[in-house]
Structure 1
C-alpha cells in the first residue's frame, strides 16, 4: 500500500547549498530507517529526498558516515535498515531489555528453520523427508509467530499443501541481505557445524 506523502515536507530543499542539502537528505534517510521496525524500500526512502536524487548514493554515503559507530546500514531483501554491529551484542544483552527480541529457539527449532531456508519452498511432508519424522504444527507456528517463516506457493499435487519460505525478518535476524548469503553446505562441513551428509539434509 502506497504511503501518503507528508504535506509540509520540502523534498527538494532548493534554498540550501548543495552540500547541506545532501547532508539533510542523508539525515532524513537515517531517521526513517531508525524509526522503522522493518527494512525500508527504496521507493519509500525516495519520498523524503529530492525528485530524481539517487537513494543508492545517499545510502552509500550514510554507510561511510557510520564507520566507527556501533550500528550500520544493512540491506535486507529489497530494503534497508539500521542494525547494531555484532561486536556490541554482548554489551546489549548485559544492559538492555531485549527479552521480546530474543529468539528463544532450541537447536532443533533452528535446524528446522535452516532446513526451510535451504530447501524453500518446502512443505511439512518435505521437512518430514529431511528429518525422518513429522514436524509439529506448534513448531511451525512458533517460527511463523516470530515472522521468521511465511507460507509459500502450494505444492502442485493432491491436496495442494502449503509450503514454507523464510521472510525478510529471517534475513534481518541472521544478518543477511538475501538468501544468497546462506552458507554453502560445504562451508558448514568445513566449519564443523555439520557432517558431510547433514550439510545437505538440513
Structure 2
C-alpha cells in the first residue's frame, strides 16, 4: 500500500506548478487539490481501484470504485489500465481510459479525452488494439486515441484531434485524423514533468 500512496502523492504533485518546489505554499496547494479537485479525485480513485484489480479476490471491488468515479467525477478509468506516476487529470469531465491501456509517467490529460482500444469493433479479445502512451505526454481537450497506436515520449496531441496512427516523440499532432503540426524542441523542460 506504500507504493500506492507514493503514486497518489506523485499524481497530486503533478497538479501543482513544479516551480513552487516543495515549500509550504506547494504542500498547501497539494493538500487543496487532494480535497477539492475532481480531477485529482479521479486519479486517487483510479490508483486504489487499480490496486484492488491486481488481486483476483478484490477485483470486483475495483469495478465498484470505477463506477463511483463515473458518477462522482464523470471520469471512467478502467482499473486494468496501467498508468505511470505523475498522472494529472486537469478536469475530469468525460475522461475515459479503457481496458489494459499502457501509459507512461507524467501524462497530462484534459477534459473529454478518450483513450481506448478498437477491439470492440473487430474482436472479442480485450487486449487487441490497445494504445500505448509514452512519458511526458499531453492530451488536449476532447482528443481521442483509438486502437493499436503508440504516442512517443514528450509528444502533445492538440484539442479535438483523432489519433489513429503512431505519434513520434517530441512532436505536436492535431486534426482528425491527427497529422504532424510541428516537431517540438527536445531540450524544453515541460512544466508538468516532475523532477
TM-score class, shorter = under 0.3
Greater Rg by CA: 1
Select the structure that is richer in strand.
2
- TM-score w.r.t. length of structure 2: 0.24
Select the structure that is richer in helix.
1
Which is bigger in relative contact order (C-alpha 8 A, separation at least 6)?
Answer: 1
